[in-house]
Structure 1
Amino acid sequence: MASEADRSKERPDEVAELVGKLVSQDGSPAETDGAERRRLLGRLSKALVVSARKAGASGVGRGRWLADVFMSIAPRLPIRDLVTLQEHHYGLTGEQLADDLVRTAVKATTAVGAVGGALAAAEFAAPPLLLSAPAQLVAETLVVAAIEVKLLAELHEAYGIQVQGSGGQRAAQFAVAWSKQRGVDPLSPASVTLALGAAAKASLRNRLMRTLGRHLTTLGPFLTGAVAGGALNRAATKRLSQAVRADLRRQRALPPAPEV
């Protein structure tokens, strides 16, 4: 019978499939229950170990492998159009729809951070398994990045900002916009070219490595990792949403959102 690692080798798309399941289930993030989320993160961690071994130490250490893995995931993220978003969010439009998208994404990254931090904490409490903890945090990093890129893309839909290009080109633009914590400017004729350039790839790699570094701070005993992981992700996703929404409002010449 084939081992988990063997199955990962036979299925090169397993990482993207697992991230997709963690990002969206039945059209909405964060609907996976805690036990299933832990199981999927565990499977993703094992698949990433296999992928990292193939990439070699140099590529993994400099973050090139992480960026390549994420760019293979991005085109497969389930980005919903405006009509579908309204169906899934009770007919909301405009700022109310954007608010609901942010709430859902924050809930999702908080839940993933809590699970990822708890898994890392469990490994921290068992020294012989400590070396496997980074794979779990890499898995968390990819899932959180995917949730946030999906949020960023769907905020463009909510604000009526249409980003042109093929599926892969749009995914690249959204991924690079995420790395810069801003919206895509669809009026920029060079946006697609820039998103596929070396500078954009470096920006994406740096953002992923910073996100991974944030998750490494959740390594700690018992439940401290879970609490820290959830709190850090919640704050980061809120910051991203505020920056992107401000950018999209400027593009549409909308007034700033009222203070809550």
Structure 2
Amino acid sequence: MAGSTPFRKRRFRKSGDPAETQAETTDPATSPGTSGGSAMGTAHVPSDTAPAVPSATGVDEEARHRPGARRLRAVRNGVRRGGESVRDAALYITDRIIENAPRVPVRDLATLRAQFPGLGPDQLADKLIHGAANATSTVGAGIGAAAMLPVPPAMPAELAAEITGVAAIELKLIAELHEVYGLRPPGTLGQRSFAYLTSWTEERGVDLTKPTTLNAALGGQMKRELRQQITKRMFRNLPNLMPFMVGAAVGAVMNRRDTRKLAEKVRGDLRARAVPWDALPRLAPLEQPSQPLPEATRAALEGPEHHDGGA
């Protein structure tokens, strides 16, 4: 046993020596069954030992009381799993709305007056706003009902379908309000369509006295502003995908409210510069789009026409 004493001395000279661990395991004097071993084990507990894992009871209890937060996380995770960031989704929707704008059918003033005989400008505008609000509320209710299905990866597609459908309805409304108040923008179908896009983005009527308004519609600035507007709408419409909090009914109410708010802003701007019908020069009929809208967007657009006299 004489040789064991120097070995233990060497073991305590350098902390962390591999021989230390081996000696503590094999030396009977330091085995866990002895009181000395217990003291030694206490002295040599590693400093980086992980603390005990806390109980998950508190976390589970909090999660049970926040179903809306869990649903929102599910939506965000679905977006990430689909490979689309918010910016990518906004760019995609922006491109679809720009592509659809020249394909939205618009009724000219003569057609509107024939379909709604006996109505003055404000009465006709009220009729158009009512029909568009009904249509966008129907779109919101449909998206809210689809969100009841527990398929988070599909939700970005539903959100894109809602925004593009609502945009087409509101663009048609804006164009026809310009017709009602005698303020049709000059230019080709494409130029007018992009002018209406600017009106939709800025929530005001097209100012015919400022050529920059029409020129900006064709530039990159309009596209950036349109993308910003769509991003705001995406976040504003996100609760439509959370039936625990709103559901289809509230989705319908939100879209109806937003469409009326936009329409009243644009109409107030146009009414201040309106041209009386008897003072209007004879306008050529509006050319109709050569390409139809996508089926889903066309279905959303044609919704109110069953109540408002046809396209």
Q: TM-score under structure 1 normalisation?
A: 0.70
Who is 2:14 aligned against?
Answer: none
What percent identity do the matched residue pairs reach? 41
Distance change (3 Å), C-alpha of 1:137 and 1:62 = closer
Out of 55, 76, 88, the position equivalent to 2:103 is: 76
Equivalents in 2 of 1:58, 1:218: separation in Å?
19
**What SS class does the counterpart of residue 63 from structure 1 fall into?**
helix
* Cα offsets for 1:30-85 (capped at 9, x unmatched): xxxxxxxxxxxxxxxxxxxxxxx9xx857952622221111000000011101111
Contact 2:239 2:246 in 1 (8 A): no
Who is 1:96 aligned against?
Answer: 123
Unpaired segments ≥5 residues, structure 2 = 1-81, 277-311
**What SS class does the counterpart of residue 217 from structure 1 fall into?**
helix
Alignment of 1:149-228 (within 5 A): 149-221=171-243, 224-228=246-250
May I ask how many residue pairs the two structures share in their alignment?
A: 195
Alignment of 1:225-236 (within 5 A): 225-236=247-258
Distance change (3 Å), C-alpha of 1:96 and 1:139 = same
Contact 1:165 1:192 in 2 (8 A): no
Distance change (3 Å), C-alpha of 1:90 and 1:112 = farther
Equivalents in 1 of 2:244, 2:231: separation in Å?
25
Alignment of 1:1-260 (within 5 A): 57=84, 61=88, 63-120=90-147, 122-123=148-149, 126=150, 129-221=151-243, 224-252=246-274
* Structure number having the greater helix percentage: 1
* Cα offsets for 1:80-129 (capped at 9, x unmatched): 10111123334423101001000000111111111111111x22xx2xx2
Equivalents in 2 of 1:91, 1:205: separation in Å?
40
- 1:164 CA drift (Å): 0.7
Distance change (3 Å), C-alpha of 1:83 and 1:64 = same
Q: Which has the larger radius of gyration?
A: 2
Equivalents in 2 of 1:60, 1:251: separation in Å?
37
Contact 2:86 2:231 in 1 (8 A): no
Q: TM-score under structure 2 normalisation?
A: 0.59
Equivalents in 2 of 1:59, 1:223: separation in Å?
22
- 1:188 CA drift (Å): 1.3
Contact 2:195 2:217 in 1 (8 A): yes
Unpaired segments ≥5 residues, structure 1 = 1-52, 255-260
Equivalents in 1 of 2:114, 2:274: separation in Å?
24
- 1:191 CA drift (Å): 2.4
